A and B are shown apart, each in its own frame.
Chain A
Amino acid sequence: EPEVTQTPSHQVTQMGQEVILRCVPISNHLYFYWYRQILGQKVEFLVSFYNNEISEKSEIFDDQFSVERPDGSNFTLKIRSTKLEDSAMYFCASSGQHLNQPQHFGDGTRLSIL
């Protein structure tokens, strides 16, 4: 069964540094999402992406965040200047040809800001 893949599995970064989290969505999917989960808390929506542009973003997704689909397979989340409170598990998800299809999640990247 096809899966969403994310790299790296764990990223440790100094506060103030830039970080890029990478995702390869399922190949024929058209809708892409980033979520984050602070340890012990619920999963929170960050941003959705379709047709090479952001569809919607949450209040968490401020000017320090950006997303990009640099080629036909990768979908990246960049945090420009990381803060301690950015420490969380970041999940990429994708869904198929239509919005009413289920979202499938990757294994996540654990981001630790020191």
Chain B
Amino acid sequence: GENVEQHPSTLSVQEGDSAVIKCTYSDSASNYFPWYKQELGKRPQLIIDIRSNVGEKKDQRIAVTLNKTAKHFSLHITETQPEDSAVYFCAASNYNQGGKLIFGQGTELSVKP
């Protein structure tokens, strides 16, 4: 079955710097890759997603890149702000086979003012 590895497990940056979180997946049939932000005790919230027919997607300060050949995808946050501090989870899914999300282990991002 699918396995998703996520790195780093913790990331500390200064406000205004960029943050990059990387994930690799094992199943080449996976075709949908969402990123969720989870604040302490709250629900995972979708912040951006990408499908396998696209190499890059951007939404304001957040971007995601996908390399299907290498089976990895990354989240890029520019101009980080303290409110970006949270745990970020990547996930992979094959929406032709039921759509279950397989999550990475999470990255705890801390943005220091």
Q: Point out residues on A near B: beta carbons under 8 Å.
A: 31, 33, 35, 41-45, 48, 55-56, 58, 91, 93, 95, 98-100, 102-108
Q: Name the residue on A nearest B45 (C-beta).
A: A105
B103 interface hit (Cβ, 8 Å): yes
A30 to chain B, nearest CB (A): 11
B43 to chain A, nearest CB (A): 4
Q: Point out residues on B near A: beta carbons under 8 Å.
A: 32, 34, 36, 42-46, 49, 51, 89, 91, 95-106
Cβ of B36: which chain A residues have Cβ within 8 Å of it?
43, 105
Cβ of B101: which chain A residues have Cβ within 8 Å of it?
33, 35, 43, 45, 93, 103
Question: How far is A17 from B46 in the complex, measured between Cα atoms in Å?
Answer: 34
**Interface pair B43/A107, CB less than 8 Å apart:** yes
Cβ of A55: which chain B residues have Cβ within 8 Å of it?
98
Q: Name the residue on B nearest A47 (C-beta).
A: B100
